Amino acid sequence: MMQTKITIIGAGAAGLFCAGLLGQKGYDVTVVDNGKKTGRKILMSGGGKCNFTNLNIESVNYLSQNPHFCKSALKRFTQWDFIQLVNQYHIAYHEKDHGQLFCDNSAQDIVDMLVNECQKGSVKFKLQTQVENIESYNQQFKLHTSQGVIESDKVIVATGGLSMPALGMTSIGYKIAEKFAIPVVPVKAGLVPFTLHKPLLDVLSTLSGIAIPVEVSNTKMSFKENLLFTHRGLSGPAILQISSYWQAGEPIIINLLPDWSFAVQFQPLLENNRKQTLKNCLGQILPKRLVDVLIQLNIIPDLPVKQLNSKQQQALYQALSQWCITPNGTEGYRTAEVTLGGVSTDALSSKTMQAKTQPNLYFIGEVVDVSGWLGGYNFQWAWSSAFACAEAIDL
């Protein structure tokens, strides 16, 4: 039997960061993970470059049944605090669109930094170790694992969600919550590509690989970013973002002319190209293959521009700016960037991340019902929630 003051379940972003902070406070910390190595999802993120935070972090960038819950942690450990740590390790990084920060070299730089912080605090690791059961007695815990029993004064659950199951993600975090009667908000895949119904898929799959700037919206939100056509359906940043706000059976609206108004740009384009076919005219502003498909789908007519009167021009503009598609579904956890839902924020303290009804049990990171937008927001939640937890623990 192993004894430790603090056990952290999960060696991902939140777990590693929290372990380093607690270890450097002088606590005896053990991190348990079912994988062969630490930070597996970090290494996969951002195309291997790790979009580790965003310059523009606000609570409105997060989904939760309690949209105010994340405010406390995000305020106490900000993106600037994490950037300062990255700078201390001389990790080179760059800014992309919308304030996203990526490593210049590799996501391995972030993992190495977090592991180094753990080493400073003499954190112990038990990898390739499955948590099979957890019991509580006298406000302490006994963890039954595939490598034996661990007795611990405090347990921090940082197990992530169900996204990317190929990396070994499991539902153990939710099972631990349910074991202690802590409610879990139903989970589903977020930041995930859409699949399409046939025969629309058969037509649009011919556009696979084409990316275009669009504005995608539903009744709740809209995002102006790129859309990518794939052989399975629709992807790209705009689609991933709206997917987190999408409900099954609901249509989405795609604006193929996100920065165009009818009077200022679109009507003059038509008037200046009256001798052309509509196909060739629109081919100046949209991929020609896409124009062909829109004609095939009867979304736009195959006519000379001069045959369109003012009312028809307006209708054409509406068709291109309000293309309505009802997805078949999503690609699910296999390709999802994040898991929506999770351990209910009503059951946790927003200041400490401790369960209200189970002393010495904490939940941090993606396992909690706080999910960020695409662009570094979920990593920042991992850092901020881990900091809030570590700062609150006093043995």
Q: For residue range 185-239, list pLDDT tens digits in order.
A: 999 999 999 999 999 999 999 999 999 999 999 999 999 999 999 999 999 999 9
| pLDDT at residue 116, rounded to an integer | 98
The C-alpha atoms of residue 306 and residue 35 are separated, in whole angstroms, by 64
Cβ count within 10 A of residue 379: 29
CATH 2.40.30.10 residue ranges for the chain: 194-330
Beta bridge partners of 340: 188
| Separation of CA 47 from chain center | 14
Antiparallel, parallel or unpaired: β 29-32 and 124-126:
parallel
Amino acid at 61: N
Q: Which of 188, 191, 231, 207 is nearest to 323 (CA)?
A: 207
The C-alpha atoms of residue 394 and residue 301 are separated, in whole angstroms, by 69
- Read off the pTM: 0.95
The C-alpha atoms of residue 387 and residue 302 are separated, in whole angstroms, by 59
| pLDDT at residue 169, rounded to an integer | 80
Please say whether the beta carbons of 193 and 233 come within 8 A.
Answer: yes
| pLDDT at residue 166, rounded to an integer | 76
Q: How many CA atoms lie within 13 A of 290 on its CB side?
A: 21
2-188+342-392 is classed in which CATH architecture?
3-Layer(bba) Sandwich (3.50)
First-to-last alpha carbon distance for the chain, in angstroms, is 21
| pLDDT at residue 354, rounded to an integer | 98
What top-level class would CATH report for the domain 194-330?
Answer: mainly beta
| Separation of CA 335 from chain center | 11
Between the alpha carbon of residue 227 and those of residues 71, 112, 190, 219, 293, the distances in Å are 30, 33, 16, 19, 16
Quick one: how many helices (H) and strands (E) in the chain?
13, 21
Please say whether the beta carbons of 260 and 266 come within 8 A.
Answer: yes
**Can you give the pLDDT of all 395 residues of the chain as single tens digits?**
778 899 999 999 999 999 999 999 999 999 999 999 999 999 999 999 999 999 999 999 999 999 999 999 999 999 999 999 999 999 999 999 999 999 999 999 999 999 999 999 999 999 999 999 999 988 899 999 999 999 999 999 999 999 888 777 889 999 999 999 999 999 999 999 999 999 999 999 999 999 999 999 999 999 999 999 999 999 999 999 999 999 999 999 999 999 999 999 999 999 999 999 999 999 999 999 999 999 999 999 999 999 999 999 999 999 999 999 999 999 999 999 999 999 999 999 999 999 999 999 999 999 999 999 999 999 999 999 999 999 999 87
Element (H, E) at 145: strand 140-145
Q: Which of 29, 11, 35 is nearest to 152 (CA)?
A: 29
Q: How many CA atoms lie within 13 A of 295 on its CB side?
A: 17
| pLDDT at residue 284, rounded to an integer | 96
CATH 3.50.50.60 residue ranges for the chain: 2-188+342-392
Antiparallel, parallel or unpaired: β 2-9 and 29-32:
parallel
**The token pair that represents 265 in the structure block:** 């740009």
